[in-house]
Amino acid sequence: MHHLVVAFFATSDAKFSGILDPYVAGANGMLAPYEMAIETFPTNGSAGGPRILGYTGVVLDGPGDPGTVRAQAHNAVPQGRGIPVIFCKRQTDDSRGTGFDFGATIQTNSPVNNGIQWLPYILINTQVKSASNEVLLHELIHAAYGSNQPGHDASNTSVFFPYSSESNGTQRTLSAPHASALRRAYFSVVVS
């Protein structure tokens, strides 16, 4: 069995409680047919839940913000394991959800990393929730492909379909090629 190891963090004003568990459950439901599952690295000691970071406010895509939050995660847990997944406020465009950024994967060579070559990491927007609960797994797929990103899938039943409010609530599935990419990811481990 493969485990996808994630290390959860949250900015100090991110309201993650109604998002984290449904996104993990959604990912595990789609991973189960491939004998895969999410494994959580404890970033907050015995208290459980994500480690709270000192960052406050919206994490924008411009140079500085994502890299600053990622550096805070590293400083909080310098001997971490898995892929950092940071719950935070992200930019919003309108009240209907059509312009929301549900999640983003920040790649190693992104200029927003302030020159640090972080392995891919994930930002999840806590200001909106996907009814399909696909966001965590969708972003893990982006992280697994790294600099070799494929196009998004054409079917709105795929976990790797582009985000849109029209497809929210659709039952999602994980295809074999994306499962294969996840098995090769830096945050994937084989467990017996």
Which domains are delineated in the chain?
Answer: 2-190 (3.40.390.10)
pTM of this structure: 0.93
Q: Tell me, what's the pLDDT at 47? A: 67
- 9 pLDDT band, cuts 50/70/90, is very high
Q: Tell me, what's the pLDDT at 74? A: 96
CA trace torsion 11, 142, 45, 72 (10° rounding): -40
Q: Tell me, what's the pLDDT at 105? A: 95
Q: What is the pLDDT of residues 40-98, one digit of tens each?
A: 999 987 667 899 999 999 998 876 789 999 999 999 999 989 999 999 998 765 554 55
Q: What is the pLDDT of residues 143-167, one digit of tens each?
A: 999 999 999 999 989 999 988 765 6
Residues 51, 53: Cα–Cα separation, whole Å: 6
Non-local (6+) Cβ contacts of 41 within 8 A are 5, 6, 7, 80, 81, 82
